[in-house]
Amino acid sequence: MHADPKGVLTGDHFIDGDHAACEGALAAGCRFVAGYPITPSTEVVERFASRIPLVGGLFIQMEDEIASSIAILGAAWAGKKVMTVTSGPGLSLMMEHIGLAAITETPCVFVDVQRGGPSTGLPTLPAQADMMQIKWGSHGDYEIIALSPNSPQECFDLMITAFNLAETYRVPVFFMMDEVVGHMTERVVIPAASEIDVIDRKWTRKQPGEYKAYQTDDSLVPEMIKAGDGYHVHITGLTHDERGYPAMNPVAQEKMMKRLLNKIRLNKDKLVDVREDGVDGADIVVISFGITSRVAGAAIEVARQKGVKVGHLRMVITWPFPADRIRQLASRVKAFIVPEINMGQMVLEVERAVLGHASVISIPHAGGTVHEPEVILEKIMEAAR
């Protein structure tokens, strides 16, 4: 279906990534945001608070990020498309509700405008160091989806994808911005509502009595209801059976866990989104995501002028990780180069995919700014030798 025109600010804009992300959420149909101020993400909720009264929806500034991250889950079960927005320290506080969202299969979007850490770290400066936290930070096993935009335009475009994926798979979806993408101002084109595809929640057509909250078909994604529809569901963060009732035994746990993981793992080919440039025939492939992809692009251009066959594989979706594609390339590529604004996180996934079939060169960065293109260029030239 098409986007609701009430939320779509069609036209050409000159705005930063935080503002564009907010417009993306509104266009995607997000009508409930609970948040707590934190640099460098605050502009997203500021814009939402200013826009939502006349769009029709609601913003509430909660008492902390713990409250924000569960208020959105309550709102989702009342039928709204929901989002919360934060940065590292707030994300740390939200961990328990990433787990609750995963086990209760509540569609929701978490925006993380990454800054340097750990702890208070670098509030106003960029990092890409929360990539493993979103994947592993809440206790237990679970699967999530993460997107890494590299421009204000993508903050708009990919936010719609983020909401569509949250509704399709009923998992928490992470929108992994960083301080630079959040605060850089560029041209953002917002199309007409009729040109924006929006996926609605998979509502059940079953009658109360025949509906079971966690019964599924081959898609492994159960149909949803909302509170007030008369279904009298029970939803719990305990391990539960198809009815949603607590079932605390190893058999129920295995059945539930397998489905929660497989609904993402078995769909990873559909989910993976890599943008490749000159990868076929390349000796060296730079793997990047988010803002670092733009710096890497500059280095790759110079390396090519120097005659090096270097390709660029940019992960737009960072989780699930494109392991199959990288493994495929590993059989013929000499080296992978992985620049990221952390001390080496996604490079571990690359190494796992490559399995020693090619060399993997990490270009870590402690955070606070982006890489110098020269640093990436130097590694490309070294690998080419």
Partner 1 sequence: MSDDLALDIQNPVMQLLRQDRIPHIWCPGCGIGTTVNCFVRAMLESGLNLDNVAVVSGIGCTGRVAGYINLDSFHTTHGRAIPFATGMKLANPNLKVIVYSGDGDLSAIGGNHFIHAARRNMDLMVVCVTNFTYGMTGGQVAPTTPLGPTQTTMPYGNFENPFNLPFLADACGAVYVARWTVFHVRQLAKAMKEGLSKRGFVFIEAISPCPTLYSRRNRLGDGADQLKYYKERSIVKNGADTKDVGLTFQGDITVGKFVDRERPTWLDSMNGHFSTHFKEKYKIYGGSHGED
- 35 or 320: CB nearest partner 1: 35
* Distance of closest approach, residue 369 Cβ to partner 1, in angstroms: 36
Output 118 or 246, the one with its CB closest to partner 1.
246
DSSP 272: -
303, 336 Cβ separation under 8 angstroms: no
CA distance 148 to 316: 5
The pairing of beta strand 284-289 with beta strand 335-339: parallel
Question: In whole angstroms, how close is the CB of 9 to partner 1 at the nearest point?
Answer: 16
d(CA 64, CA 35): 8
Q: Which residues bind partner 1 (CB under 8 A)?
A: 32, 34, 53-54, 56-58, 60, 62-64, 66-68, 70-80, 82, 96-97, 100, 226-238, 245-246
Contact yes or no for 48/33 (Cβ under 8 A): yes
Q: What is the DSSP string of 282-293?
A: -SEEEEEETTHH
Closest CA to 380 of 334, 337, 329: 337
* Minimum CB distance to partner 1 smaller for 58 or for 302: 58
Q: Give the three-state DSSP class for 177.
A: strand
Helices (H), 29-87: 42-55, 65-77
| First-to-final CA distance of the chain | 52
Choose between 228 and 307: whose C-beta lies nearer to partner 1. Answer: 228
In the bound complex, what is the minimum distance in angstroms from residue 90's beta carbon to partner 1? 14
Tokens matching residue 217: 């078909």
**Residue 59 β-bridge partners:** 33
DSSP state of 224: B
State in angstroms the smallest separation of the CB of 256 from partner 1. Answer: 15
Whether 29 contacts 53, CB under 8 Å: no
Residue 273 neighbours by CB distance under 10 Å: 16
Smallest gap, in angstroms, from Cβ of residue 230 to partner 1?
Answer: 4
Token pair, residue 64, equals: 């902390």
Nearest to 129 by CA among 344, 339, 342, 292: 342
Q: Least distance in Å: CB of 244 to partner 1?
A: 9
Phi, psi of 331 (to 5 degrees): -70, -20
The answer to whether the beta carbons of residues 222 and 105 sit under 8 Å apart is yes
* CB of residue 156 to partner 1, shortest distance in Å: 24
Toward partner 1, which CB reaches closer, 83 or 360? Answer: 83
- Closest to partner 1 by CB, 34 or 303: 34
Minimum distance, C-beta of residue 202 to partner 1, in the bound complex (Å): 18
Upstream peptide bond of 118 is cis (omega within 30 degrees of 0): yes
Q: Which one, 2 or 139, has the nearer CB to partner 1? A: 139
If the CB atoms of residues 100 and 122 are measured against partner 1, the closer one turns out to be 100
State the minimum distance, in angstroms, from the CB of residue 96 to partner 1.
5
